[in-house]
Amino acid sequence: MKELLSRYMDRLPEKFNDDFIMSRDDSEILEKVRDIFEDLKIIPQIHINREDITLETDESNFGPIKQQGKYYKAVAPSRLNKIHYKVTIDGLDKPIERDLYINKMLDKTFYINEGIRYFLIWQIVDSSSYGFGRGTSFKAMTMPITMLVNNRFNMESENGAVNLTDMPIFEFATFEKCVSPLIYIMSKYALNKLVEKHPVIDDVDAFLAEQDDGILDYFNEYLKTDIKFSNSYADLVEDDRTVFSVKGDKTQGVYYSVPTEKINEPNYQAALALFGFCKSPKKKDKKKNLVFSYEDLTNMWYWLDKLTDAFSQTTDIFKKYEKAKGVFISLERLIDEPTRKIMRIPSKYKKDVFTIMEYIMLNFDELANADGQDLTNKRLRLYEYLLFPLRAYFGNKIYTIFSSSTVSVQNIEKIFTGLTPMLLIKECITSELLHYFNSTNEFNLYGALLRYTFHGPQAYSSTVSLDQRSLHPSYTGRLSLIASNAGDPGTSGTLVPFVKVYDGGYFTPKSDEEE
């Protein structure tokens, strides 16, 4: 028996994960801050070099810290690091140079603020996406990328030979507006084409009448499909293809055909769902299917007009055109490099919002029904939530700039003049993810270093369900099943010192597709 136990222990030795336990290091902060500042490059007038953002750790050189014209306090009781940044703005004579302060990590374990020791609590959050039955969301820079399926429908081919049931009515719900993904997809091509053909709108009629069959090739390329379109059913009848059409209650729209043998493939299922029921974005018609002819399908303004119906009630063509541009600028800024790094999806789908949209439609049921308690669908984070206030601050300022009808140099300059040096310190002190620690018993140290919570920014709210308080099988070997906060059982506790943590804070290694 002793020999058996010895062989077992040799094969599976218990070893504290020292690399993880002592992984808190200020060197990680600088690169994450640089990533956040680089998000500002979406504003064309702002120029930032990563090397111009530096981390200074020698507090003797800081001097008194000013906050809004007043001296804040001496640095000695609080132990701080200083982030110095330089930004160039077109129209300003000289660069803006300012400082931003953040707590200094001492002995890779704790902060000191005003003489009090604090330990950071590991936050457990959804990996890159989370499902909620009728939809799924991917976390992005300022707001989640959300796809909903509130209703489903049945459709049949024109000859009645093929019946498709329980087809999803996709709604892209980012920006708090539910719009069919088809409208976004077609509008992307349409906007680029109109900007190319009409850099200046000097002939409104020609602008509105712009037709381009290339939009059909673009759609087929987007979903890797082979779909043919026509106003005539007879034009599409072929032995190896099945014909469907866009229909309303009393109206007949365009016909389209797909290879019969490929109908059940995920990309064709997504395409058929998009054309089978494309919800009208107008409030009064929001439950109706959008019915369009071949001429509508290939008309550039048709799609931009439908897109802006969801965001504005104006009928002014020029205002709608500018609104469409603003929507796509906002879409473009949703995905930044830090967001791409944490996404656990194949690399080919990380390019932009539209590739993520494609991935969601192809894998909707799996994503929407993912087990929200399974740790394989979650990850640990530390510095990200400390810097979340800075990311949120810049995100709001970017949104304000792009929402304004006119953008002045002074408005852009206010992004930085309004950024107070103590923003991160102030938000950090009030964070529920800092743990006050005054124990003199060294046996409590691991409990302090390995504390975790499911609460905090972009995670559980103060109200949690019974499911969220339950013990999931994936907790074994990762979370202590006996160490839990008596006032908050199930949603906070202690990581086991043997826990394995992979790149990005994940509990599982990356797959080959994610590399």
**Residue 326 belongs to domain spanning:** 134-368
What 3-state class would DSSP assign to 464? coil
| Same domain? 155 vs 36 | no
Whether residues 212 and 346 share a domain: the answer is yes
- Residue 151: count of CB within 10 angstroms of its CB: 13
Same domain, 328 and 213: yes
Q: Is residue 227 part of a domain?
A: yes
Same domain, 201 and 325: yes
How many domains is the chain built from?
2
Q: Cβ distance 106 to 79 under 8 Å?
A: yes
Boundary-marking domain end, from 426, 449, 467: 467
Identify whether residues 157 and 243 lie together within a single domain.
yes
Amino acid at 351: K
Tell me what pLDDT residue 90 has: 92
Question: For position 70, what pLDDT does the model report?
Answer: 46
495-513 b/e with 16+ CB inside 10 Å = b? bbbebebeebbbbbeeeee
> Is residue 495 in a domain?
no
* Residues 214 and 298 occupy one common structural domain: yes
Residue pair 503/510 in contact (Cβ under 8 Å)? The answer is yes
User: What's the pLDDT score for residue 432?
Assistant: 62
In a domain, 306, yes or no: yes
Q: Is residue 497 part of a domain?
A: no
Dihedral, CA atoms, 184, 163, 287, 266, nearest 10 degrees?
A: -30
CA of residue 215 relative to chain centroid, distance: 27
Looking at 322, 344, 368, the residue that finishes a domain is 368
Whole-angstrom distance, CA of residue 494 vs CA of residue 488:
12
Q: Find the distance separating the first CA and the last CA of the chain, reported in whole Å.
A: 44
Same domain as 384, residue 358: no
> Is 475 domain-assigned?
no
Q: Are strands 252-259 and 228-230 parallel, antiparallel or unpaired?
A: antiparallel
* CA-to-CA dists, residue 515 to 28, 82, 335, angstroms: 21, 34, 18
Alpha-carbon distance of 317 to 210, in angstroms, equals 14
Q: Where are the alpha helices (DSSP H) in 140-252?
A: 181-197, 204-208, 214-223
Judge contact between 174 and 147, C-beta under 8 A.
Answer: no
d(CA 406, CA 401): 8
Q: Which of 341, 368, 395 is the last residue of a domain?
A: 368
Same structural domain, 212 and 270: yes
The verdict on 208 and 334 lying in the same domain is yes
Per-residue pLDDT of the chain (515 residues; tens, 9 = 90+): 567 656 655 655 567 787 888 888 777 889 889 988 988 888 889 999 999 999 998 887 776 665 544 445 554 567 888 999 999 999 999 999 999 998 888 888 788 877 777 788 888 888 888 888 789 998 876 678 899 998 999 999 998 888 999 999 999 998 778 999 999 999 999 999 999 999 999 899 999 999 999 999 999 999 999 999 999 999 999 999 999 999 887 788 999 999 999 999 999 999 999 999 998 888 777 778 899 999 999 999 999 999 999 888 888 999 999 889 888 988 887 888 778 888 889 989 999 999 999 999 999 999 998 888 889 889 998 888 888 889 888 888 887 887 676 778 888 999 998 998 888 887 776 666 666 555 544 456 667 788 888 876 655 555 556 666 678 888 888 888 777 666 666 678 888 888 899 888 899 888 766 65
Same domain for 301 and 210, yes or no, is yes
Is residue 514, in this structure, part of any structural domain at all? no
The answer on 166 and 100 residing in a single domain is no
With respect to residue 15, please indicate whether it lies within any of the assigned structural domains: no
Task: Give the distance between the most distant pair of CA atoms in the chain.
Answer: 91
d(CA 489, CA 496): 16
Q: Tell me, what's the pLDDT at 67? A: 53
Structure tokens at 426: 């102030």
**For position 64, what pLDDT does the model report?**
65
Q: Which residues contact 347 (CB under 8 A, 6 or more apart)?
A: 513, 514, 515
Sign of the C-alpha dihedral computed for residues 425, 429, 434 and 438 taken in this order: positive
Phi, psi values for residue 507, rounded to 5°: -85, -5
Question: 295 with 146, same domain?
Answer: yes
Domain for residue 345, yes or no? yes
Phi, psi angle pair for 180, to nearest 5°: -60, 135
* Structure token digits, residue 282: 């107008």
